[in-house]
């Protein structure tokens, strides 16, 4: 990638000598009206240049650097796909003030390279508050349902996309079966106005008008920020402006906040997470508007033990999901959360208004089969996980609609008793889960993790239903199935599921 940067020659020359000692910021403009910032701490010794690049959470040491004959050169080693190391080269002519950068990424930008400071790269630390329990906000007594922009649109999302998703949520029938929240993820931010209030970039010219539009559809709208100086994508975070941001969200009409850790780890340790997230929990309560609070810190520091104490309604228990079977399998069944706990190990931490969140749904994004997507929907429902679609709602096939809008499966997720699922049996290729429901029935999920169709067998007594006359309904086939005796045996497709609702006659 070729990047031409303006380097001001008057700054670079000190008493006729080139001097690049100190902090520098590289600003490259983005089409949405923002600029991405990368900071460098450069040290010059004669002709040699050494130093470090600051980019969000990353610190990368220069692999080489020099000044000679009015030319500046330094390079960085960048880890590419498959562990390959690629080199990003920075080369410039100091006399003309131009710096051309050839990076490992491959695109072209024009930006500015100018003097900065450590405080700009990493703002001074604000001590976290003393711990206390934030009162329950009374929201989402069952897991929230809706849509989030990231899995499909990532940083390309616009206000027009959000309006279109709201329209599609209604026209498709998703709103009628419980999908309510239309959530904007990262990259809506511009910066702050003279009073320090958050402002929106060109992609979101009028957040209040957008919220009003979503509300006019009978839906609710969500937004994204984080406790650090920058969000995960390098946009403005809420660090030091928590109450101000919460008040602005309320003024816009926001109903849901996803709050992502990211650059906060430049300032705080994991042991301080609870206090840092508590700060925004307090701010949301003071905002005067009911706002669902979604913690996103990937299951670190045992968040399920304290998420509700900071006012959280849901908290991520995993790293980011992707639209691949191995990701779904690992997050859903494997050691997906920090400290090697699985989703089932921590299932008892949930209660009405406070839920474990194994990340958003990938259903409909094209990377998995229909059976894998049905397993995805079934497992999330057995876990009482939030159901936040992440696909393009305008272009859903009939099969994807049937998966996302299966009301019998959604009823498991939304069961008001909010009781955790438990493992009945498991091995390397299959898992049987049972979850007691409010009406006395039991949801039974038979999950095949193997690469071929498999028979999964067991006994009703292991589920707590032995010695009773039973009735069962297959929630994907939408039909009653025959049940007799104490044992069962079901053929389950590769990477698939059979989901039953069983009750005594």
Q: 119 with 110: CB under 8 angstroms?
A: no
**pLDDT of res. 117:** 93
Per-residue pLDDT at 378 exceeds 90: yes
- Name the CA dihedral angle for 4, 103, 235, 295, rounded to a multiple of 10 degrees: 180
Q: State how far the alpha carbon of 20 is from the alpha carbons of 7, 8, 35, 205, in Å.
A: 11, 11, 23, 39
User: In sequence order, what E strands does 427-485 have?
Assistant: 430-436, 442-448, 454-459, 470-474, 479-481
Q: Where does the pLDDT of residue 25 fall: very low under 50, low under 70, confident under 90, or very high at 90 and above?
A: confident
Mean pLDDT of 156-182: 98
List for the chain the helix, strand, coil content (%; round to 5): 25, 35, 40
**pLDDT of res. 9:** 38
Per-residue pLDDT at 355 exceeds 50: yes
Backbone angle region of 218, left / alpha / beta, with phi > 0 → left and psi within -120 to 50 → alpha: left
- What number of H helices and E strands is found in the chain? 11, 29
Per-residue pLDDT at 88 exceeds 90: no
Among the listed residues 32, 260, 323, 359, the single catalytic one is 260
Q: 298 with 288: CB under 8 angstroms?
A: no
What is the Cα–Cα distance from 478 to 406, expressed in whole angstroms?
9
- 237 φ, ψ to 5°? -95, -175
422-504 matches 145-413 in CATH topology: no
Residue 320 is among the residues annotated as catalytic for this protein: yes
What is the Cα–Cα distance from 88 to 104, expressed in whole angstroms?
5
**pLDDT of res. 339:** 67
**pLDDT of res. 91:** 78
Report H helices in 117-174.
118-121, 150-153, 159-171
Tell me how far apart the terminal alpha carbons of the chain are, to the nearest angstrom: 68
What count of other Cβ atoms lies within 10 Å of the Cβ of residue 110? 11
Task: Flag the least confident range among 100-104, 156-160, 355-359, 467-471.
Answer: 100-104
What count of other Cβ atoms lies within 10 Å of the Cβ of residue 50? 16
Among the listed residues 91, 93, 320, 486, the single catalytic one is 320
Per-residue pLDDT at 51 exceeds 80: yes
Task: Flag the least confident range among 222-231, 400-409, 481-490.
Answer: 481-490
pTM for the full model? 0.92
Element (H, E) at 23: strand 22-29
**pLDDT of res. 1:** 43
**pLDDT of res. 20:** 86
What count of other Cβ atoms lies within 10 Å of the Cβ of residue 504? 13
Q: Can you tell me whether residue 12 is helix, strand or coil?
A: helix
In tens, the pLDDT along 257-301 reads 999 999 999 999 999 999 999 999 999 999 999 999 999 999 999
Select from 479, 466, 464, 424 the least CA-distant residue to 446.
424
What is the Cα–Cα distance from 480 to 122, expressed in whole angstroms?
61
Per-residue pLDDT at 7 exceeds 50: no
What is the Cα–Cα distance from 502 to 488, expressed in whole angstroms?
12
What is the Cα–Cα distance from 411 to 352, expressed in whole angstroms?
15
What count of other Cβ atoms lies within 10 Å of the Cβ of residue 336? 22
What is the Cα–Cα distance from 430 to 418, expressed in whole angstroms?
24
- Residue 417 vs residue 110, higher pLDDT: 417
Per-residue pLDDT at 10 exceeds 60: no
Per-residue pLDDT at 247 exceeds 50: yes
Q: Which structure tokens are listed for 172? A: 């498709």
422-504 CATH choice from 3.40.50.2300, 3.90.850.10, 2.60.120.10, 2.60.40.1180: 2.60.40.1180
**pLDDT of res. 70:** 79
Q: State how far the alpha carbon of 392 is from the alpha carbons of 159, 172, 179, 222, 270, in Å.
A: 14, 12, 14, 17, 35
Map out the domains of the chain as residue ranges. Answer: 2-121, 145-413, 422-504
Q: Which structure tokens are listed for 229? A: 């100086």
Q: Where does the pLDDT of residue 15 fall: very low under 50, low under 70, confident under 90, or very high at 90 and above?
A: very low
Instruction: Report, at the CATH architecture level, how domain 145-413 is classified.
Output: Alpha-Beta Barrel (3.20)
**pLDDT of res. 112:** 78
How much of the chain, in percent, has pLDDT values that exceed 70?
91
User: In sequence order, what E strands does 238-385 have?
Assistant: 256-260, 292-296, 314-316, 355-357
Q: Where does the pLDDT of residue 107 fall: very low under 50, low under 70, confident under 90, or very high at 90 and above?
A: low
Residue 96: burial class (beta carbons within 10 Å; 0-12, 13-18, 19+): exposed
**Maximum Cα interatomic distance, the chain, rounded to a whole number of Å:** 94
Q: Where does the pLDDT of residue 8 fall: very low under 50, low under 70, confident under 90, or very high at 90 and above?
A: very low
Mean pLDDT of 359-365: 98
Mean pLDDT of 75-85: 69
- Residue 204 vs residue 106, higher pLDDT: 204
**Average pLDDT value for the chain:** 91
Mean pLDDT of 139-155: 98
**pLDDT of res. 95:** 65
């Amino acid at each position: 990638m070729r990047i031409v940067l303006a380097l001001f020659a008057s700054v670079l020359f000190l008493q006729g000598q080139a001097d690049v000692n100190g902090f520098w910021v590289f600003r490259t403009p983005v089409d949405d009206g923002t600029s991405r910032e990368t900071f460098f701490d450069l040290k010059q010794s004669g002709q040699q240049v050494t130093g470090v690049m600051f980019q969000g959470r990353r610190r990368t040491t220069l692999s080489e650097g020099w000044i000679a004959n009015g030319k500046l050169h330094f390079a960085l080693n960048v880890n590419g796909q498959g562990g390959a190391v690629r080199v990003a080269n920075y080369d410039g002519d100091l006399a003309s003030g131009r710096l051309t950068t050839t990076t490992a990424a491959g695109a072209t930008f024009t930006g500015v390279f100018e003097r900065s400071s450590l405080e700009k790269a990493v703002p001074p630390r604000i001590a976290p508050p003393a711990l206390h329990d934030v009162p329950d906000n009374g929201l989402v007594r069952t897991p929230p349902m809706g849509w989030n922009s990231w899995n499909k649109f990532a940083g390309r999302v616009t206000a027009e996309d959000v309006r279109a998703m709201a329209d599609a949520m209604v026209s498709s029938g998703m709103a009628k079966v419980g999908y309510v929240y239309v959530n904007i993820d990262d990259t809506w931010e511009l910066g702050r106005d003279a009073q320090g209030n958050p402002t929106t970039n060109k992609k979101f010219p009028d957040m209040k008008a957008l919220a009003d539009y979503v509300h006019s559809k009978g839906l609710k709208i969500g937004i994204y920020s984080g406790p650090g100086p920058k969000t995960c994508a390098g946009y403005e975070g809420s660090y030091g402006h928590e109450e101000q941001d919460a008040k602005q969200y309320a003024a816009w009409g926001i109903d849901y906040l996803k709050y992502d850790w990211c650059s906060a780890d430049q300032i705080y340790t994991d042991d301080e997470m609870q206090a840092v997230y508590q700060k925004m929990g307090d701010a949301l309560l003071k905002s005067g508007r009911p706002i669902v609070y979604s913690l996103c810190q990937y299951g670190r520091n045992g968040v399920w033990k304290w998420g509700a104490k900071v006012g959280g309604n849901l908290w991520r228990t995993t790293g980011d999901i992707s639209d691949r079977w191995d990701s779904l399998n690992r997050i859903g069944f494997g050691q997906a959360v920090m400290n090697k706990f699985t989703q089932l190990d921590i299932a008892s931490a949930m209660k009405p208004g406070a839920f474990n969140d194994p990340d958003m749904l990938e259903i409909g994004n094209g990377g998995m089969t229909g059976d894998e997507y049905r397993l995805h929907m079934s497992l999330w429902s057995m876990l009482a996980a939030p159901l936040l679609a992440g696909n393009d709602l305008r272009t859903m096939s009939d099969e994807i609609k049937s998966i996302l809008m299966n009301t019998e499966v959604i009823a498991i997720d939304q069961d008001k008793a909010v009781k955790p699922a438990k493992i009945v049996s498991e091995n390397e290729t299959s898992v049987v889960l049972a979850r007691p429901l409010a009406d006395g029935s039991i949801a039974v999920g038979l999950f095949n993790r193997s690469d071929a169709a498999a028979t999964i067998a067991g006994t009703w007594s292991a589920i707590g239903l032995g010695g009773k006359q039973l009735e069962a309904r297959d929630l994907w086939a939408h039909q009653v199935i025959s049940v007799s005796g104490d044992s069962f045996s079901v053929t389950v497709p590769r990477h698939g599921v059979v989901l039953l609702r069983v009750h005594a006659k």
